[in-house]
Amino acid sequence: MTSNHALLELRDVRVHFPITKGLLLRRVTGEVRAVDGVDLEVERGQSVGLVGESGSGKTTLGRAVVALARPTSGTIEFDGKDVWALDRDERKRLRRRVQMVFQDPYASLDPRMTVGNSIAEPLDIHRLGARADRTRRVSELLGIVGLHQTHSDRYPHELSGGQRQRVGIARALSLGPDLVVADEPVSALDVSIQAQIVNLLQELQRELGLTSILIAHDLAVVRHVSDAIAVMYLGRIVERSLAADLYREPLHPYTIALLSAVPIPDPVAEAKRERIVLRGDIPSPASPPTGCAFHTRCWLRDKLGNPEACSSEVPTLRSMRSGHLVACHFAEEVA
């Protein structure tokens, strides 16, 4: 394995979905720009948090990374190979190395399959190992994710939400992937169980040397897991940096608003906090605003007296200081 390139490199990735009208004469009347020009590198062993609200394109981007959604344009290179330039067999082999953990542990497991069979299914699909090897591997995986050996013969309905998510993680790990994409793995779980899964993800990253992308809707969960953070808004990355820098000194007005919106479980701090309440909803990705997509809700633009550039020019992701990228014309004015 050569390793002078990042494990995953996205170049100007766009995923657009057509909007069609008419039953017999289907015609395309528009497109939803779910992902609209994303550049992202993920280094080996790194854990990247991908944060955004509904409609930001974070899930579609995650699906594109695991080759479940084909980009409309742009390239996705995994370990130096362009994923969509490969033939089907090669791509299938590549898929072993990139796995996904889904949000809803209730919907992502087959209710008629035992836990053991669910975990072994990826091995079956890729025809790996003899039956005895698979049984051994399942038992090993149960241990890794903190489940009991007896869980192997149970069905999903016999498990709690937290246990099901552990099964989902074991399934994703069964092929020994290099990269795991976890899409909101804890948001369907109760607080006390969330923490167990967040800790498990952290341990796995450390012990198995996994590279991971954690998709989340708020900045609090990823803070505990990720080394680097990318904040998305309407299909684009608006800010990217090491986690510590982002929380200490956010530079994009959207990130700042997002941070201030997350309630802190401390009444004293809450009473003192200055909150930025954004007006309105996220615009539709079918008709994103011109210029900077955030300009319709931006508090900084208001403060600066509605500069022309915000609504006319698309800001590019630029480096403000080392390793801290931001897509805002006026990021210097934030502080």
The residue from 269, 290, 312, 319 that contacts another protein (CB under 8 A) is 269
Total binding residues toward another protein, as defined by CB under 8 A: 45
41 forms part of the interface with another protein (CB under 8 A): no
Q: Identify the residue whose tokens are 């915000």.
A: 310
The count of other CB atoms within 10 Å of the CB of residue 322 is 8
Helices (H) and strands (E) in the chain, counts: 12, 12
x/- letters, 295..324, toward another protein (CB under 8 A): ------------------------------
Burial group, residue 127, by CB count within 10 angstroms (0-12, 13-18, 19+): exposed
d(CA 95, CA 177): 9
204 forms part of the interface with another protein (CB under 8 A): no
- CA-based nearest residue to 4, from 41, 50, 48, 49: 41
195 forms part of the interface with another protein (CB under 8 A): yes
267 forms part of the interface with another protein (CB under 8 A): yes
Q: Which stretch binds another protein (CB under 8 A): 12-20, 122-130, 177-185, 218-226?
A: 218-226
207 forms part of the interface with another protein (CB under 8 A): no
Q: DSSP characters for 98-121? A: EEEE-S-TTTSS-TTS-HHHHHHH
Nearest-approach distance from CB 174 to another protein, in angstroms: 24
**Rounded to whole angstroms, what are the CA distances from 211 to 29, 226, 229?**
39, 10, 14
Q: What is the DSSP-derived secondary structure letter of residue 25?
A: S
19 forms part of the interface with another protein (CB under 8 A): no
287 forms part of the interface with another protein (CB under 8 A): no
**Smaller CB distance to another protein: residue 75 or 202?**
202
Subset of residues 148 to 187 that bind another protein, contact rule: CB under 8 A: 160, 162-163
Nearest-approach distance from CB 213 to another protein, in angstroms: 17
Contact assessment for residue 263 and residue 269, using Cβ atoms and an 8 Å cutoff = no
199 forms part of the interface with another protein (CB under 8 A): yes
Q: Footprint of another protein on this chain (CB under 8 A)? A: 53-54, 160, 162-163, 190-196, 198-199, 202, 217-221, 223-224, 243-244, 247, 257-270, 275, 277-279, 281-282
